[in-house]
A = this chain, B = another copy of it.
Amino acid sequence: MKIAVLGTGEVGRRLASRFVQVGHAVVLGSRTADNAEAVAWAAANAAANGTFADAAAFGEVVVNATGGLVTLDVLRAAGAANLDGKVLIDVSNALDFSRGFPPKVATFDGRGVAEEIQREFPGARVVKTLNTMNNKVMVAPELVPGDHTVFLSGDDAEAKAVTAGLLGDFGWRDEQILDLGGLETARATEQFVVLWIHVGGAVGDVPFNIAVHRGTPEG
């Protein structure tokens, strides 16, 4: 598939590299086409880079890997016309460190980032996923043992199926993918991230993720 990855930070580059590795065509998008990180990444990965609009115009799937606090601005730069009808995978978190640690999770009049994207870009088919873990685990679930979990939230069943397929390319097995329902459930995964930070502090410097363990129905 043709995939746009918006955001040249660690998350964006990690996802973009992995998409290339599993055989997709990728354009990495940033504010300017001469972004040094993006140019270096494109050269090293036999892929391309460009502006947010260049990338979004190219992608059949657009992945938002920018920080949630700037995401709306980034998507405005990408352009609504370049998002219309496309699967938009949002992996962002809107962490506000302006009042120190632990950060607050920013909301938009109570809504999460993913919901706010959908509201402003109704033509995009927004799916939230992968925002509840470190970016190394996102693209290499085998770093963590067992049936640990990746969540999906979104209002478009076909867009969620496309997203699940891309997760499969990364190595996620079907039994690890938990569909939480509509995009409003993404707000809860965004709110989870502060707990994720504390869990990370408690477990130390190892790859980790949460899993949902299920018992037997009561008889």
Contact = CB atoms under 8 A, between A and B. Distances in A.
A23 interface: no
A198 B180 contact: yes
- Report the interface size class on chain A: 35 or more
A87 to B, nearest CB: 21
A206 interface: yes
Contacts of A180: 198-199, 201-202
Contact of A217 (B179, B194, B205): B205
Interface string A138-182: 000001111010000000000000000000000000000011110
A191 interface: yes
A1 interface: no
A210 interface: yes
Nearest to A136: B218
A194 B217 CA distance: 22
A205 B218 CA distance: 8
B202 A191 contact: no
Interface string A105-121: 10000100000000000
Interface string A182-196: 001101110110110
A211 B214 contact: no
Contacts of A185: 102, 198
Interface of A: 102, 104-105, 110, 137, 143-146, 148, 178-181, 184-185, 187-189, 191-192, 194-195, 197-199, 201-203, 205-218
Given A145-B213, A148-B213, A189-B195, 16 more contacts: A102-B184, A102-B185, A105-B191, A144-B214, A145-B215, A146-B146, A146-B211, A148-B211, A179-B202, A188-B195, A206-B214, A207-B216, A209-B212, A209-B213, A210-B211, A211-B211
